[in-house]
Amino acid sequence: MKNPPKNAIAFKVGDQVFDLDTDPPSGSPVEYVTLDSGEGLEILRHSTAHLMAQAILELFPDAQLTIGPPIDSGFYYDIDIERTFAPDDLKEIEKRMAKLAKRGLPIQREVVGRGEALDLFKERGEPYKVEMINDLPDEETISIYRQGKFVDLCRGPHMPSTAKLKHFKLLSVAGAYWRGDEKNKMLQRIYGTAYPDRGELDAHLKRLKEAKARDHRVLGKQLGLFLVDEKAGSGLIYWQPKGNIIRKTIERFWDDEHIKRGYQLVSIPHIARDELFKISGHYDFYRENMYVLKIDKEEYVLKPMNCPGHILIYQEGTRSYRDLPYRLAEMGTVYRYERSGVLHGMLRVRGFTQDDAHIFCTPDQAEEEVVAVIDLARFMLNTFGYENFEIELSVHDPDDFGKYAGSIEDWEAAEEALKRALEIRDIPYKRIEGEAAFYGPKIDIKMLDALGRAWQGPTIQFDFNLPKRFDLKYIGSDGGRHLVVMIHRTVLGSMERFVGGLIEHFAGAFPSWLAPVQANVMTITDDQIPFGKKVVDTLREAGLRIEPDFRNEKIGKKIREAQLQKIPYMLVIGAREVEAGQVAMRIRGIGDTGAVALEDAMEQIRTNVETRAFSPGED
């Protein structure tokens, strides 16, 4: 490429991105890629991953390189090495990276024959690169990149030189199996991030620090919400009393809102014969993620999803178009095998409770049902403090319809219903072709938390597979039997992941209506305990969750401990309060608000709870 603009780091022809030192196809329009674009940031991070690999090899010559891609928040590189990387090692690697960057090494792409590439990496003693080349049987030529003495197998593109790789930070080390397979060797994965300028990097590191302070695993332990015990097995959540209060509060709210909207609540067993999942197709296509049991010489399955059970309930009796829509909902626990390496607190588990529902309706009812689900999802998420969302509409691949269940007419009608529902509610969305599951198109709603991070939430999914497999019919107005339209949907997702997300969203400081303890009643001396017990009893009779603290401890210590537990209200009782029949109220985030009558304190807290206010003290 001749005479590119100073701020260009690569160029595009159509959707393909090329290195600046590549000659563009003759007569093709060229679009330059700069660092302030998403593609530019990805190239920067990919090149920084190579810089890190180069620094590692210079410091630790016995290290074996595997892969090092860019990711959404930065980059990583998987390393096979006998030593365990420590924080001091990361600092040394960073220093060496900075030295290499200052040298302004040209990053040059070469295309070599397959045999030459194999010989090159064999000579360099890099067996993982040799294995990757051997796994590309159709590739006659291979692209490699050089910067100084460093050589890597890579498709690119990359930055023109190391000179612009200035603002980076190595973050952590984790274990990772080669190619994600537990049967392979465990490697060390070094994570890092990079940005075009120091300000963006510092802002990102500040967000990471805040995210660490909100980590649901740390707060869950500190606040006594849940635990995972290896004696019972990985990926299984034990809800402690305080955590279970949050869960049950959410479930009661969920039940009430679904009943208001015409759903019927059901409950199905945790296991079923394998025959049910053979009919659904899960046994053949999902068996590696299922737990299969032998009972009385028959196979049973710990259910990986609730839909086949709900279908059995729909099939109990003949359904007329007058019975539709037929909405079944359940907080149903399911079990799925996840590799131990991907388990993560409450966010990635092996047993979880899904807020599941299935709508059986006619084609003419589908659009209205989707709109109603969107309304319910937005209402519920807004109630939990989520206001901003990313919406994706996943549709079929127009160039390869053969892999989908159902007819093209079914798909086009379903996709139009989802699209119109979003447009009716004026919701911006991203349409993604080819990302739909084989059985139907879907809407995914990702909620953005207090730090702007996206969490998987509501899903609205058409299904053209299960109605045919189970022969789900209804009697139409014409007297004929017609296939029902089946819609899977969740509005919260898994309870474990949702509560884990809430812990991080609120940094453990839950709104009063969700808080396990809504008020702490504390006495200054033992003389106030009789009145303190009366206060506790009165507030509990009003339906509030109260915890007494009548210990023989200084009041300052009691207040500090209640603050660490992030309790919304503290009611302090001393001699003056007993004499006046009052309590001195302290409110989380506000502090001491003075003494008030017990009835007034009770009404203020109860109003805050009943209105589901986000902060204590709000009306």
Residue 127's domain is classified under what CATH number?
Answer: 3.30.980.10
- Residue 490 inside a domain? The answer is yes
The answer to whether 358 and 405 are in contact (CB under 8 A) is no
The answer to whether position 20 is within a domain reads no
- pLDDT for 299: 94
Q: State how many domains the chain has.
A: 3
- Pairwise CA distance, residues 469 & 439, whole Å: 11
Answer yes or no: is 158 within a domain. Answer: yes
Residues in CB range of 413: below 8 A, 6 or more apart: 363, 366
> Could you tell me what percentage of the chain is helix, strand and coil, using 3-state DSSP and rounding each to the nearest 5?
40, 30, 35
Per-residue confidence (pLDDT) for residue 5, from 0 to 100: 80
Phi/psi for 572 (5° steps) reads -95, 135
Q: Does one domain contain both 493 and 385?
A: yes
What type of residue sits at position 267?
S
Q: pTM, whole model, 2 decimals?
A: 0.87
- Answer with the one of 457, 479, 505 that is the final residue of a domain: 505
Last residue of a domain, one of 181, 213, 245: 213
Q: What is the pLDDT of residue 137?
A: 75
Give one DSSP letter per residue of 17-50, joined into a string. EEETTSPPPTT---EEEETTSHHHHHHHHHHHHH
In 3D space, the residue among 599, 552, 543 whose CA is nearest the CA of residue 571 turns out to be 599
Report, as ranges of residue numbers, the positions in the chain whose pLDDT lies below 70: 1-2, 619
Q: What integer pLDDT is reported at residue 15 of this predicted model? A: 82
Q: Which of 409, 408, 427, 405 is nearest to 418 (CA)?
A: 427
Residues 184 and 191 sit within 8 Å (Cβ to Cβ): no
Q: Are residues 232 and 327 in the same domain?
A: yes
575 lies in which domain range?
A: 519-610
Tell me whether residue 598 is in a domain.
yes
- Model pLDDT, residue 1: 59
Looking at the fold, whether 207 and 332 belong to one and the same domain comes out as no
For 442, the 3-state DSSP assignment is strand
Relative to beta strand 519-523, strand 388-395 is unpaired
Q: CATH number, domain at 395?
A: 3.30.930.10
- Catalytic residues, by residue number, are 307, 336, 354, 356, 358, 442, 488
pLDDT recorded at residue 349? 95
Residue 16 pLDDT? 87
DSSP secondary-structure letter at 157? -
Q: From 460, 479, 505, give the residue that closes a domain.
A: 505
Q: Do residues 482 and 561 share a domain?
A: no
Please report whether residue 27 resides in a domain: no
Q: Are residues 332 and 444 in the same domain?
A: yes
Q: The domain that contains 547 carries what CATH number?
A: 3.40.50.800
* pLDDT in the model for residue 256: 97
- Write the CA distances from 369 to 267, 325, 330, integer angstroms: 22, 8, 18
Query: Same domain for 145 and 64?
Result: yes
Residues 386 and 448 in one domain: yes
Q: Minimal CA–CA distance to 23: which of 113, 107, 109, 104?
A: 109
Tell me whether residue 399 is in a domain: yes
Residues 322, 379: one domain? yes
Asked whether residue 30 is assigned to any structural domain, the reply reads no
435 and 558, same domain (yes or no): no
DSSP secondary structure letter of residue 85: P
Residue 67 belongs to some domain of the structure = yes
Q: Give pLDDT, residue 403.
A: 86
Q: Report the pLDDT value the prediction gives residue 181, as an integer from 0 to 100.
A: 81
> Taking a C-beta distance cutoff of 8 angstroms, is the pair 587, 593 a contact?
yes
Residues 317 and 369 in one domain: yes
Tokens of 619: 């009306």
Alpha-carbon span 376 to 445, nearest angstrom: 12
Same-domain check for residues 436 and 490:
yes
pLDDT of residue 619: 65
Residues 180 and 253 occupy one common structural domain? no
Give the pLDDT confidence score for residue 21 in this predicted structure: 86
Tell me 84's DSSP state: P
Give the position of tokens 């090692």: 89
**What residue ranges in 162-273 does DSSP mark as E strands?**
167-177, 186-195, 226-227, 238-239, 264-265, 271-273
